[in-house]
Amino acid sequence: MSDFSVIGKPVALIDSAGKTTGAGKYTDDLSLPGMLIGKILHSPYPHAVIKRIDSTRALALDGVVGVVTGQDAPNKYGILPVGHDETALAVDKVRYVGDNVACVVAESESIAERGMELIDVEYDPLPAYFDPEESMKATSDFIHPEKPNNIEKDYHHVFGDPDQGFREAAYILEGRYLANEVTHAAMEPHSTFWRSSLRLRRARLKLR
């Protein structure tokens, strides 16, 4: 370990004072001239078809610069190759309470919040699943239409000769284990700065 300058050695927490006293600056504390504020409208339903999104009233509100919905950003992505089933905003339907439905961009946070209230979304609720085993029994209304029985991926790992191991074992203990899915380093930021390369009358956006 002596060859390393950081690994295996104590490191001073040089930012601890700012964090413990409240003096530290986070993204949500920052403000720049001409900055716009973005607010996300979330779904109140765990599973529902989006029948209609009418942003007419929101766009008519003074200070609202724009409204974006899933139809404006339909490209899919995902953390893992097997799970490229996410979109920035819900397209066609929502899949959990809090799913992103629309984004309002405005000149202030209060105007953005008022703009969200003026967006009219019509939902057609679908069966919701709150237990993974019950979810796998579904025969219709899948969370993702292309994934029958709501199974993301089914795979098995076999190492060596399990049958021989059982035969030679002095004692066999069987159990049932549940393990939650984990995405490493999912910071889930609630505030983000974004600088546009487009020539808009506002050059920066803070998304909350």
Alpha helices in 47-177 (DSSP H): 56-60, 109-117, 132-135, 162-168
Please give, one letter per residue, the 3-state secondary structure of 167-204.
HHCCCCCCCCCCCCCCCCCCCCCCCEEEECCCCCCCCE
Residues with pLDDT less than 50, the chain:
1, 198-204
Sequence-distant (≥ 6) Cβ neighbours of residue 120 within 8 angstroms: 52, 53, 54, 55, 57
Question: What structural domains does the chain harbor?
Answer: 28-151+191-207 (3.90.1170.50)
Q: pLDDT at position 153, please?
A: 83
Model pLDDT for residues 106-149, shown as the tens digit of each residue:
999 999 999 999 999 999 999 999 998 899 999 999 999 989 99
CA separation for the pair 145, 131 (Å, rounded): 18
pLDDT at 201: 43
Is the pTM higher than 0.85? The answer reads no
Phi, psi for 110 (deg, rounded to 5): -65, -40
